[in-house]
Chains A and B, each alone.
Chain A
Amino acid sequence: MLTKRIIPCLDIKNGRTVKGVNFLELRDAGDPVELAKLYAEQGADELVFLDITATNEKRKTLAELVGQVAEAINIPFTVGGGISTVEDVSVLLAAGADKVSINSAAVRNPQIIKEMADEFGSQCIVVAIDSRLVNGRNLVHTHGGSVPTTIETEDWVQEVVALGAGEILLTSMDHDGTKSGFADELLARISSLVNVPIIASGGAGNMEHFFDTFTTGKSDAALAASIFHFKEIGIPDLKAYLKEKNIAIRI
């Protein structure tokens, strides 16, 4: 049976792992390569590296770091942050990334999703969406969640999948950093609209939240950062808990 995935997210700035509380305050949580190895050994199903400052500072994600990670670990990983061209994707995949995630660039130019999917296959193109509730509507935000658009999240998800996105990484800005649980209502709705895997992101605070998003939220995978980095939840404990609750999980 296909299992639900637990994905630690390593937010990267200047080659170090950081995690922002609501993306504004950054705390240092260590060396990304060492952390990646540790998570792989602990049973993480996949890793995501997001160069969170890349878009704002117009930097490219560090292909060098990707190369070091690819050498060190034997599980799949996704790289995102500031990726905007087919060439960017080519460099990161060649460096050893399994998938790339695009966000602001896709909003700016949706056709880029199709170009990337045609060139490399949908399976390695993740579209990351930062969504925030504004006057009762879920609106897509860009630039690390700081710039609102007028695009509704539910519409955008369908559009990016039609263009070739192979997976959706949905971050609820309303939940991110709150530790009050994932945006399960929105996630379940999104999951019913498209036929690609959905990664839930934003709001993980305890083990129950993972159970909730895999059941109520219909999520295929759940991503979290600080609760793993600061050892509030251990991945082996989390997986044992989910297994006991009859969630399909890889132990």
Chain B
Amino acid sequence: MKVAIIKYNAGNIKSVLLALKRLGLEGTLTDNPEEILAADKVIFPGQGEAKSAMRYLKSRGLDQVIKSITNPFLGICLGLQLLCEHSEEGDTPCLGVFNSQVKKFPDHLKVPHMGWNTLSESADPIFKDIQFPAYFYFVHSYYATVSAQTLSQTDYMLPFSAVLKKDNFYAIQPHPEKSADVGEQFLKNFLFNI
């Protein structure tokens, strides 16, 4: 199985590569459109800032490439937010795969939302063999609103999208690669069960 990890100007890519390695897979870090389109699975990770990330993706035509992918695709953290319609971070139009809006957590909360929080129950195959309430590790200051595409939500004073799905596109706000055995199971499901 060929797993492509989209290379762009966002951090936290190493931990995804290492998580794949723990599952016995070697991911290819690439920004080459042909390589991305030829992959069986595509992971779009990232931690960073929405505006500069979108600028980078557009400058390499990766925005169009991502939208044209038909194989299973998984956005993580900033990856999820960039797949939404629009982000308040830098007032940035995003890829629009999901119709959620990305907003900043209100000021009265401790921001970033950092630590382990629960995901609401879902019967989607991406959650195979995962017990609920499932704890995942989050680090983020912006959140995606809940929509009909929300598979699972999390509460941090307000409910937001923890996992989104549309056709072949999945996205998860917390970091499965840092979410202990549950996170490992989630990645395993995406890689071997979707």
Contacts and interface: CB of A to CB of B under 8 A. Distances in A.
B49 A5 contact: no
Given A70-B15, A74-B177, A197-B110, A121 B115 contact: no
B61 interface: no
Given A3-B135, A71-B18, A75-B180, A195 B111 contact: yes
B15 A98 contact: yes
Contacts of B49: 121
Contacts of A93: 11, 14
B112 A220 contact: no
A86 interface: no
A70 B116 contact: no
B38 interface: no
B85 interface: no
- How would you classify the secondary structure of chain B's contact residues: helix, strand, loop or mixed? mixed
Q: Name the interface size band of chain A.
A: 20 to 34
Interface in B138-192: 138-141, 155-156, 175, 177-181, 183-184
A197 B138 CA distance: 13
- How would you classify the secondary structure of chain A's contact residues: helix, strand, loop or mixed? loop
Contacts of A184: none
Contacts of A95: 14
Given A74-B184, A93-B11, A195-B110, A45 B115 contact: yes
B47 A123 contact: yes
A234 interface: no
A167 B139 CA distance: 11
A13 B55 CA distance: 43
Contacts of B14: 70, 93-96
B150 to A, nearest CB: 18
A71 B112 contact: no
Interface of B: 11-12, 14-15, 18-19, 21-22, 47-49, 107, 109-118, 135, 137-141, 155-156, 175, 177-181, 183-184
Given A2-B113, A45-B137, A220-B114, 14 more contacts: A3-B116, A3-B117, A45-B116, A70-B14, A70-B18, A75-B180, A93-B14, A95-B14, A123-B112, A123-B140, A124-B47, A195-B110, A220-B110, A220-B115
Pairs of residues from A and B, 10 with the lowest C-beta to C-beta distance, nearest first: A250-B135, A250-B116, A3-B116, A123-B139, A76-B178, A2-B117, A123-B112, A96-B14, A197-B114, A2-B115
